[in-house]
Structure 1
Amino acid sequence: MASYELNAFDRRFQSISLVGAIEQVSPFTLNVGYWLRDPNQLIQYPERVASHPRIDFLWEKTCFEVFIGVRGEDFYREINLSPSQAWQAYAFEEYRYPEILPPVAAYDIELNQLKRTHYGLNVSLDLTEFMLKHKLKWDHLFIGLSAVLDTTQGEHFFAMQHSSPNADFHNKRDWLHTF
């Protein structure tokens, strides 16, 4: 299991710390965990929902994200995970394209489990259809972890790194995990 400290885009914001961990657990299953430290209880959480529905615009509230890129290819997937238990996966052909909102839903990634925990969030994703359709192996993939945290002090953007002048989770240079 590899872990990464996610950094706030606003470097002055030190009130919350966030760590993400990535683990390949079977031929096509990816587990991701997010561990939050919020001693002042600044994070505002969305209301819980039942049965893990696919919902768009989750990033408008506290939301954790997984980006899956493929070496040498422009296409990628974005998975949004809400502490409410809702989720969604999106398909992009290249950087932020197609430019529609909500983005095109991706049905080649499935949710095995999504659970809000006392320390953060755990997710298990089934990448079987995505990997088989594109004839991918784990070493073809690279992963980016990020989060939008809605707090009493405004929105804060966390990622493995921020190499753009604005917070931009779609920047593949910031997706640091490889297998």
Structure 2
Amino acid sequence: MQVVSLIPHPSSRPHRDVAVQVTVEAAGRGYALAYQVAGVSRLCIDGRGVGRTDELWRHTCFELFVRTVGATAYREFNFAPTAAWAMYDFDDWRSGMRSPPVKHTPGVVDGRISGRKPTFGAYALYVTIDAALLPQGPMIAAPTAVIEAIDGSKSYWAMAHPPGEPNFHHPACFALDLSPPTAA
């Protein structure tokens, strides 16, 4: 199990009580992630339905970018508090984007509905990703979050940020080493 704290992008102006933490652990044939937010009283959660949905990053959204170590191609996952999700493949940094077909959908559960009490902060989103949705071999990942406050302001959170504007696709954001999940 790995627990990482995300930091806001320097240009972001998050409310001072907001903090974001991600727990990643191997689970069965994939990974389980818990995105947890402190300062939830200021978190805006809009109604975007459930299932596969585009443009989730426009509001509160939790993300995971993952690629095989040494590769330039990567996969992006987006998860919304409404249980909506998205998945995209890229051939290289922000190029060759496509939305691949899936046999196994990620499991997304809003912590307010699951009844599970967050261990950090006041809000949690729980996600499971089957190994069939992940690259094969040693991986490097970028867990990220877009946090929208009730006043409409947004902050952008990652383990590391490149210079310039927020850009979760940038190789500098891929800062979490992952071992391949093992079969259960």
| TM tier, smaller | 0.7 to 0.9
| Structure 2: tracts of 5 or more residues without a match | 113-122, 180-184
RMSD over aligned Cα, in angstroms?
A: 1.9
User: How far apart are the structure 1 equivalents of 2:103 and 2:24?
Assistant: 16
User: How far apart are the structure 2 equivalents of 1:108 and 1:176?
Assistant: 26
Identity %: 22
Please, which of 90, 100, 119 is the counterpart of residue 92 of structure 1? 90
Q: Where in structure 2 are the equivalents of 1:98-117 lying within 5 Å?
A: 98=96, 103-108=97-102, 110-117=104-111
Deviations 1:32-63 (A, max 9, x none): 11111015x111101263xx410000111110
User: How far apart are the structure 1 equivalents of 2:106 and 2:124?
Assistant: 17
Deviations 1:72-118 (A, max 9, x none): 211000000000110010000000002xxxx4112357334211114
- The TM-score with structure 1 as length reference comes to 0.84
Is the Cα–Cα contact under 8 Å of residues 34 and 121 in structure 1 kept in the other structure?
yes
Q: Number of residues paired by the alignment?
A: 165
Is the Cα–Cα contact under 8 Å of residues 3 and 21 in structure 1 kept in the other structure?
yes
User: How far apart are the structure 1 equivalents of 2:133 and 2:84?
Assistant: 21
| Structure 1: tracts of 5 or more residues without a match | none
The match for 2:115 is: none
- The TM-score with structure 2 as length reference comes to 0.81
User: Which has the bigger relative contact order, CA under 8 A and spacing at least 6?
Assistant: 2
Amino acid at match of 1:149: I
Amino acid at match of 1:54: R
Distance 1:42 1:109, change over 3 A: farther
